[in-house]
């Protein structure tokens, strides 16, 4: 079980809330975990707790706090529409400034991962933020907006082969512009990590998580003293 903390954005000084989960064993590093369009939901907190159980100190900021404090959507159509609205109303420069505050609140090495909207935000952070050791992007549809930027740390990408919201042409575009970055494809649709969604695919979720943890371990996420 984690706690709520406050971060001060490096973008504009705004104070936003974040979910903080401490490692349950010897610390492997810090982890910035970036939400889906739905906000910092029970699902995101569970993911944070899971990474904390693996030895990571996790911070999951509420990136939509300027629009609605502690926004948490369900999977109804009105909530989805609100989440999409908030995501498009949140500028990338602001996201980078909020993310930088979370990175600076964590002791190195600091890693980043995110899902859906957070997958694209993870790419952004890998490209623009200081102090990131490695990044894992999960089904980030809006990476296409940022594809001309290049990650400055080891970065991997996870996509579902049957994701209707991310055509394979978009994935191929990323591959063409960044041929050295690993792009993993799974027999799954969008949001396959979330057991709240119809596209949840347990085997793909486990494999993608394993690859993510292996990346972090290679980039300095070995166990230290507690």
In sequence order, the β-bridge partners of residue 30 are: 57, 110
| pTM given for the model | 0.96
In sequence order, the β-bridge partners of residue 159 are: 185
Euclidean distance between CA atoms 7 and 9, whole angstroms: 6
Mean pLDDT throughout 44-72?
97
Residue spans per domain, the chain: 3-218
Per cent of the chain over pLDDT 90 is 92
Query: What's the pLDDT score for residue 198?
Result: 86
* pLDDT digits 0-9 by tens, 195-204: 998 899 999 9
Q: Describe the crossing of helices 117-128 and 92-104 by its angle, rounded to 10 degrees.
A: 70
Query: What's the pLDDT score for residue 226?
Result: 45
Pick the CATH number of 3-218 from 3.40.50.450, 3.30.710.10, 3.40.109.10, 3.40.50.1820: 3.40.50.1820
* pLDDT digits 0-9 by tens, 13-33: 999 999 999 998 899 999 999
Laid out side by side, the sheet with 183-186 consists of 3-8, 15-21, 56-61, 29-34, 110-115, 134-138, 155-160, 183-186
Query: What's the pLDDT score for residue 75?
Result: 86
CA angle, residues 46, 52, 56, in degrees to nearest 5: 135
Confidence band (pLDDT; 50, 70, 90) for 159?
Answer: very high
Statement: residue 225 has pLDDT above 60: no
* pLDDT digits 0-9 by tens, 117-130: 999 999 999 999 99
- Joined tokens for residue 5: 């903390």
């Amino acid at each position: 079980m984690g706690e709520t903390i406050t971060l001060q954005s490096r973008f504009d000084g705004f104070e936003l809330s974040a979910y903080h989960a401490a490692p349950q064993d010897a610390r492997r590093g810090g982890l910035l975990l970036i939400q889906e369009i739905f906000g910092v939901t029970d699902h995101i907190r569970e993911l944070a707790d899971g990474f904390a159980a693996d030895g990571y100190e996790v911070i999951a900021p509420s990136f939509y706090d300027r629009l609605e404090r502690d926004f948490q959507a369900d999977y109804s159509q009105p909530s989805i529409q609100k989440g999409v609205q908030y995501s498009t109303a949140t500028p990338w420069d602001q996201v980078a400034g909020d993310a930088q505050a979370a990175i600076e609140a964590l002791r190195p090495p600091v890693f980043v991962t995110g899902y859906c909207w957070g997958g694209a935000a993870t790419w952004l952070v890998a490209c623009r933020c200081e102090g990131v050791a490695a990044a894992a992007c999960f089904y980030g549809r809006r990476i296409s907006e940022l594809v001309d930027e290049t990650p400055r740390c080891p970065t991997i990408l996870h996509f579902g082969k049957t994701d209707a919201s991310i055509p394979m042409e978009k994935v191929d575009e990323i591959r063409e512009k960044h041929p050295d970055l690993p792009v993993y494809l799974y027999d799954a649709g969008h949001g396959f990590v979330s057991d709240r969604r119809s596209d949840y695919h347990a085997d793909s979720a486990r494999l993608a998580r394993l690859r993510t943890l292996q990346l972090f371990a290679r980039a300095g996420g070995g166990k230290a003293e507690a």
